[in-house]
Structure 1
Amino acid sequence: MTTKRTSARQRLLDTADRLFYAEGVHTVGIDRIIEEAGVAKGSLFYNFSGKDGLVAAYLAARDENRRERVARYLEGLDAPVERLLAVFDALQEAVSSPGYNGCPFANANAEAAPDSVEAEALRTFRGWLADMLLALTKEAGFADPAGVADRLRLLYDGAVANSQLDAHPDAVRLAKELAAMLLQASPRDSLQAEG
């Protein structure tokens, strides 16, 4: 019986994901990733063209996982308000996972230059989050969908930060309660189904 060995690219990504998320993009060197991944140095440059390429791939994978998690929680929900609140349920899953260390995009961007791959990944994720919340608030028929989406994003960000910085286990639950109160109190343009 033969077992298929994981590709060098995947071993590099898996190792980078573990180390970058736990210890930081700027503190973990390439030599350590290569050693722990058990690959030749040439594999890094063949697959990623250097550390920036590996960082970009790591953050892109984190972004994809985040989007997939949110999509899973939205799946099967029809009521727009339930869909908005489900975003917080997806966040709860993330902050409850073992080894949670905050937002990987914000963490990676903390010491990065404005034109770095880290900054670009953060802008991409933040843009997606803002667009998703705005689309959901429009779908729900709020009179000021952008204002409601901005407030929800602030609650989301606060829950992320509080979960990490203060290791507050109930931060997301409290943010979701506040989000529900916000959605209940926010005027709607149309007589859409409440949910």
Structure 2
Amino acid sequence: MKHALVKEHIIKTASDLFYTNGYNSTGINEIIKEAGIAKATLYNHFKSKEDLCIAYLKYKNSNFFKDLKKFIASKEAGKNQILALFDYLDIFFNQKKFNGCWCINTISEITKHNDKIRLEILSQKDNLINYMSVLVIENLDGYSKNESFDIARKIYVLYEGAIAESNMQSNVWPINSAKSICNTII
């Protein structure tokens, strides 16, 4: 296998394991075994488990954002595009392997002092808020940039809460409730 393909294979394998079993519960030896590679191969691509975790977070985020943006773009402009955030969550929830938010799951397993992973997660969450702000600006009239950002942060809190609660409750009602509250905000 070519270098880039091996690296991608390692990331996909680690992503499945980290997301399903948790970061701390997944050992390097398990990743090596599942990927069918030698330990040296893993360390040729990643200096540490922490570096592999960063790659996992980026991989999950990239795929999620690509699918989310495509889904929202397919909806009619206006409130529908904003509410589609929650419709997409419903689809995300109904996937066989749904296990909540990869960022929240990971950050709950690391220490406060793990800046490398924490900063990657914060960057992803900031990007999500900024994307929501753009959706508000593009789809709602009469709000300043600051007001749009404030609305986006409120939507973000609903969104994150809906993911966490739907995972904990093993039910879609938190997503539906968050969508309903969002509709009253916008």
Give 2:56's aligned residue.
58
Residue 141 of structure 2 is aligned to residue 141 of structure 1? yes
On the 8 A contact 1:12/1:37 being kept in 2, the answer is: yes
Gaps of 5+ in 2: none
Q: Greater share of helix residues, 1 or 2?
A: 2
On the 8 A contact 2:130/2:149 being kept in 1, the answer is: no
Give 1:70's aligned residue.
68
Q: TM-score, normalised by structure 2?
A: 0.87
Structure 2: how far apart are the matches of 1:164 and 1:38? Answer: 31
Give 2:118's aligned residue.
119
Aligned positions, number: 179
Of the three residues 127, 150, 154, the one matched with 1:151 is 154
- Rg larger in 1 or in 2? 1
Structure 1: how far apart are the matches of 2:164 and 2:103? Answer: 12
Give 1:192's aligned residue.
none
- Where do 1:1-195 residues align within 5 Å? 7-114=5-112, 115-139=114-138, 140-143=140-143, 144-183=147-186
On the 8 A contact 1:105/1:121 being kept in 2, the answer is: no
Structure 1: how far apart are the matches of 2:174 and 2:54? Answer: 29
Find the residue that maps to 2:51 and give its secondary structure. helix
- Give CA-to-partner distance per residue, 1:173-195, whole Å, 9 cap, x none: 22112211221xxxxxxxxxxxx
Q: Which moved more, 1:111-120 or 1:159-168?
A: 111-120
Could you say what the CA RMSD is over the residues aligned between the two structures, in angstroms? 2.0
Q: TM-score, normalised by structure 1?
A: 0.83
Letter in 2 for 1:66: F
